[in-house]
Structure 1
Amino acid sequence: MNSNEKNKSFKSFILITVIQVLSAYYLYRFFFIPPDMPALDTEQWWGPYPMDLDHDKSIRPLTIEFSDVMINDLRERLLHRRPLQPPLENVGFTYGFNPRYLNQVMEYWHNKYNFKEREQFLNQYDHFVTNIQGLDIHFMHIKPKNVAGLEVVPLIMLHGWPGSFREFYDVIPYLTAEQPEQKIAFEIIVPSLPGFGYSQASVRPGLGPAEMAVIINNLMKRIGHDKYYIQGGDLGHTVGSIIATAFPENVLGFHTNFPVLLSHRAALLYITCGSLIPSLIETKELQPRLYPLSEHWSRLIEESGYMHIQATKPETVGVGLSDSPAGLAAYILEKFSTWTNPGNKKAGDGNLLKKFSLNQLLDNLMIYWATNTVTTSMRVYAESFNEKQNFLIFDRIPTNVPTWGIKFKYELMYQPDTALSFKYKEYLQSTVVEDGGHFAAMEYPELMAKDITQAVIKFQKFWNFEKQESNEAPPLHETARTVYEFTVKSINGRDVKLSDYKGNVLLIVNVASQCGLTATNYQQLNELHEKYHQKGLRILAFPCNQFNGQEPGTAKDILNFTKDRGVKFDLFEKVDVNGDNAHPLWKFLKKAQSGTIGDFIKWNFSKFVVDRNGVPVERYAPHVNPLDLEKDLAKYW
């Protein structure tokens, strides 16, 4: 090769290297570098011009009223509706709301729905309105009673579309019930988002989820709360997440029943790549909620047709829905069927009454009908999915507010905690539920209330931990070198020093009695114990109820369960293995042996091997069976 050719080759090499480096740099920036926080105008005026600088900022009582004029007009429309085309044979709800069943709903609405009684029902809680940034914003305000000795906790609950403040009526009694054992009392604020129900809509374009977040934060300040907790789902999740991201100084914790990231590039890449090896992303039990991706994307596309219409032509579809109660019912109630469980579409009645009553569903419809706000409520989609008002940028900005999710089985989307932690840097926990769908507060109000309460308690502990004095000694799990420095409690409540196990090889496992992995793991752990006990193997089992509530029993229940299975290895007190309340031993184990995709425990039956010196040396995922460890254990005899 002559000098010219060498020179050309060298230049080509340099050029290719530069291109590769620049490509890697821009790919890294594209996926992993968050955008700057958008500037939000906290005083932007959404009311009519000229702006009234002296507008009334007082908080005024509001009474929900179904006027006789409105009721008579509605009944006339229900009575004189056009005959519906009969449905195709045996289609259920697969073509949308079944016309045959819609006739039954319309008959109930016309003849059996007691308008005045339901009006009184909706007025059982105190309603108010106040002008924020030019718009009258409606909210319910439920203050707790008998609060002596309790800390009053402000909680704002945010609805979605096609929901309303009515979504929370069944969960409020559980949250406001006396719970002195928790030492907290909930003060609940439930607003109607701008353009929904009794909250005014903007008179000009631009009021999207981020702008709603500003209004809601200003509302809480108007009420008198500079710091508060948030609960939200659907659009309420989006608005709540933006508040937590843009105003972290005001938010003490964020609880969501729709824990998803719609546009975090790295998280979506992670989930997509995970389809090649799902076991690296999610446990075997939960993988069907996410993979194969094609099945879940197919359902999402099928169920999101409304979003494309509302994001482009809300006024067009709004004409029919505002003018026809039958059209409004079919359009909205169909979501309460298929978004609750996709299997419902096979039923002729959509299984609507399996989780809801007609009064519940029609109450929600009445809020849209009485206020004539279905069109203005749908505009938020047009304000969300456009270049000027792209709210999705907030999905890519890290959030340090402590966050907790509850994941219902049939929710429209599912994402693993590892993906959510790309944004929510203090994602404390997910509660996994083996039923339920999109309208969680209406489907499982008691479960939702318990989960919200647990989350708020964890949020409080999170902040107490953060406020520890800097001169305090660091926690044991941060300084420990071996497991021998820890003390645990046996299943009978006796203190056990792990230094008593010096010289043995330990296999430490978090167990559960009602898991799909239980039978295999308990059987094989017993086999390991019998085969290698003489060689110095000791198995330490710690019951844990953090994974889908699969270890709910008392110590006595767990003992009886293990006795029935002839368990001979050592059993200890039930503990948490994740979160702030995790036992220090488990914090140490996770720190010493991080997992493939994070140090948190993914599921029941995670396994740690500790050598004869007390040092954690191996970690195995829940799907690895105990007998598969034999070859690796042999290294430590």
Structure 2
Amino acid sequence: MSNKQSKKNENKKKQQQDYKQKHKSSFFSFGKIVFLSAILIGVASYYLYKALTTPPDLPKIDLNAYWGPYPMKINPDLSIRPYKIEFSDVMINDLKERLLHRRPFPPPLEDVGFTYGFNANFINRVLDYWKNKYNFKEREQFFNQYDHFVTNIQGLDVHYMHVKPNNILPDVEVVPLLLLHGWPGSIREFYEIIPKLIRPRVGQKFVFEIIAPSLPGYGFSQAPARPGLGAMEIAVVISNLMKRIGHEKYYIQAGDFGHYIGSIMSTLFPETVLGFHTNLPILLFHPLAHIYTWLGSFWPKLIVEPELESRMYPLSEKMSWLIEESGYLHLQASKPDTIGIALTDSPAGLAAYILEKFSTLTNPSYKNAGDGNLLAKYSLTNLLDNIMVYWSTNSMTTAMRLYAESFNKRTLSTRLDEIPTEVPTWGIKFKYELVFQPDCILKLKFKNYLHSTMVEDGGHFAAMENPEIMATDIFEAVNTFRQFHNVTSPQEIVDGNDKKAETIYDFTVKDIYGRDVKLEKYRGYVLLIVNVASQCGLTDTNYDQLNELHEKYAKNRDFKILAFPCNQFGGQEPGSAKDILKFIQERGVQFDVFAKIEVNGENTHPLWKFLKQTQSGTFGDFIKWNFSKFIVDKNGVPVERFGPNMNPLDLEPYLAKYW
């Protein structure tokens, strides 16, 4: 081989080696980049997860901050003083003059209803009624049918209604209930519901004493003299008001801005608030709530039941509607005094601004009607009562400032929606409420969120629109709160004679919260009834598989699991109802759990007597151990029985026979 050829081969070999080395180097460089990127993504994900799931500390707040005018009085009057609502002749005459000499309004476009805002044709009818038919002195007496008081809290004269029940039997307990309104509502919202709350109800051993304050700056309560009185600060004022009245522990019912204030009170004062009932159960400022909502737009079943999906999705439609209807919030959170000047000077403007909300937020479809369908749910007199609270006290501007004080960097930095509370909470969700959130989102904050009542009607102003539904729900909620705080298990109450029973529908039991449950409610479902315990060697397997069975079939196969805690086998369910409730909440149990019972012996629960008589065991009727199981068909008849060693998932072929 010539030197020339040899040199050529050597160069070629060297080029190949250089290429391989370069390729190898590039490959390892790329691998390093991927590896380092994975590490960075992992670290970033970890810190993001920690940021989203680690609650902030409670904010530092001055519990005695002074909000009144300066100079401060050396010896302020801290007594509780009677108060009378008055519509003075001077105010009435001025109002009528303004209504009489109002300028003509531009006519509305054809067939627009309320879609452009309050319809000018209908506002004339409202204003004429206000001027000519609204009986000011009669309505003044109406407002004063309940006792009103004022007391100075942190420099502000705070007004409240105080309504106590009369002629109460000795065995009926009177419990305090704090009612919190929002904007554009007032204490007027509560006049229809109060009579229903101060009268005892059949089956309830308690009745309510009502405390309903006007929020500072609203109606008959004094407004602050300087900036900074937001929802958190008002929560402190109201807490101090309740102490002044003499209530160290109480229940709260709230909606609209009242919900936000009540939520904060539950967070700051969990030892004081015995239970929180809300008709606007939402988390506005929790980042995970927004992430859940967004993810649910792709897979709705991840977070919301199919039958409720339309209340939340399609997300684009809900967000468009929310943006359309929340313009007032942006205005009031940024420039409340600008719009306040207009509404303070014009009763027509005030009426249109408020009543438009009573139309659209009661039912979105009402905006298509020329009168906003306002009179479908309310009378003009009642609607004007609420407007009179703002007009007679000249408080529209000071009320709207609450938005500017609560939707700002200072307040949002407290991250109060992200701080968990253990206060038992109950929500009622009306179909046309401004925002809907499923329970899985609400439980991010309310760790003892016990129940949601779903209502297939109704909107934002629930106490005025549906006082009977609201009152019934409040009684049920507080009854549940009382059971939650009770250290003993409630005694079972059973309707029907177990010896004559033909189906399980003949029985009534108590659930884990102490409420009576007629098993008639399960008609048409295939049921798995099981006695459970929290400290048994079979607990983990059975609870995990019962949960899995529930997830697989509860929504698709008309299937329900009914679990009855029992302490008769090895003392493995020793806790109270509260202990059991905590246990099942920690395990994420979704199936129905009832109060602790006995399944053998003299005190055998009648339902379980019936189950054992209908489906005998191999070595006798008695229950042998924890996690014995009965299948009940869609007619309420027990059809099969299985021992503790039969795992729940092994029951799938047996259950399939009865779908």
Q: How does 1:162-173 map to 2 (within 5 A)?
A: 162-173=184-195
Residue aligning to 1:625: none
Q: Tell me whether 263-272 or 444-453 shows the greater mean CA deviation.
A: 263-272
Answer yes or no: is 1:448 the counterpart of 2:479. Answer: no
Question: Residues 202, 332 of structure 1: CA spacing in aligned structure 2 closer, same or farther, 3 A cutoff?
Answer: same
How far the C-alpha of 1:543 sits from its partner, in A, is: 9.6
Partners of 1:489 and 1:316 in 2: CA distance: 62
Paired position in structure 2 for 1:359: 381
Deviations 1:37-90 (A, max 9, x none): 111210011111232242111100000000000000000001110011111111
Taking a change above 3 Å as real, the CA distance of residues 131 and 429 of structure 1, as seen in their structure-2 partners, is same
Alignment match, 1:68: 89
Matched, 1:418 2:449: no
Instruction: Indicate the larger mover: 259-268 or 314-323.
Output: 259-268
- What is the deviation of 1:607? 4.0
Q: Distance in 2 between matches of 1:236 and 1:489?
A: 39
Q: Distance in 2 between matches of 1:490 and 1:544?
A: 5
Distance change >3 Å, CA 93–CA 604, structure 1 → 2: farther
Aligned pairs (5 A) from 1:56-455: 56-147=77-168, 148-179=170-201, 181-390=203-412, 393-455=415-477
1:605 maps to 2:544: no
CA distance in 2 between counterparts of 1:361 and 1:338 reads 14
SS in 2 for 1:285: helix
Which aligned pairs between 1:496-511 and structure 2 lie closer than 5 A? none
CA displacement 1:463-516 (0-9 Å, x = unmatched) = 01xx35xxx9xx9xxxxxxxxxxx9989864599xxxxxxxxxxxxxxxxxxxx
Give the 3-state SS of the residue equivalent to 1:255 in structure 2.
Answer: strand
* CA–CA separation in structure 2 for the residues paired with 1:151 and 1:601: 39
Query: Aligned partners of 1:265 and 1:596: how far apart in 2?
Result: 31
Report Cα offsets for 1:7-31 as digits up to 9, x if no partner.
Answer: 7567545532431232112210232
Structure 1 residues 220 and 488: alpha-carbon distance in aligned structure 2, compared to 1, 3 A threshold = closer
Aligned letter for 1:448?
M
User: 3-state SS of the aligned residue for 2:409?
Assistant: coil
The alpha-carbon deviation at position 94 of structure 1 amounts to 0.5
Cα distance in 1, alignment partners of residues 379 and 650 from structure 2:
49
| SS of equivalent to 1:106 | helix
Larger Rg belongs to? 2
Q: Does the C-alpha gap of structure 1 residues 260 and 330 become closer, same or farther in structure 2, counting only changes over 3 Å?
A: same
Match of 1:617? 648
The residue type paired with residue 419 of structure 1 is: I
Specify the code of the residue in structure 2 equivalent to 1:91. V
Tell me how far apart the structure 2 counterparts of residues 383 and 206 of structure 1 sit (CA, whole Å): 6
Question: Could you tell me how far 1:386 is from its partner in structure 2?
Answer: 1.1
* Partner Cα separation in structure 1 for residue 552 and residue 252 of structure 2: 27
Look up the match of 2:61: 40
Query: Normalized against structure 1, the TM-score is what?
Result: 0.78
> Do 1:150 and 1:180's aligned partners in 2 also have CA atoms closer than 8 Å?
no
Q: Distance in 2 between matches of 1:13 and 1:571?
A: 51
Aligned residue-pair number? 545
C-alpha contact 1:541 1:571 (8 A) present in aligned 2: no
Query: Once the 2 structures are TM-superposed, how far is the Cα of residue 178 of structure 1 from its aligned partner?
Result: 2.7
* TM-score, scaled relative to structure 2: 0.76
Is the partner of 1:193 in helix, strand or coil?
Answer: coil
- Alpha-carbon distance in 1 for matches of 2:154, 2:498: 58
Q: Over aligned residue pairs, what C-alpha RMSD do you find?
A: 3.7
Name 2:620's counterpart in structure 1: none
- The percent of aligned pairs where both chains have the same amino acid is 55
Kindly report which structure 2 residues correspond to 1:584-599, keeping only aligned pairs within 5 A, or say none.
592-594=545-547
Secondary structure of 1:360's counterpart equals helix
Tell me the amino acid that sits aligned with residue 387 of structure 1. K
Say if 1:416 and 1:358 are closer, same or farther in 2 by CA, change over 3 A: same
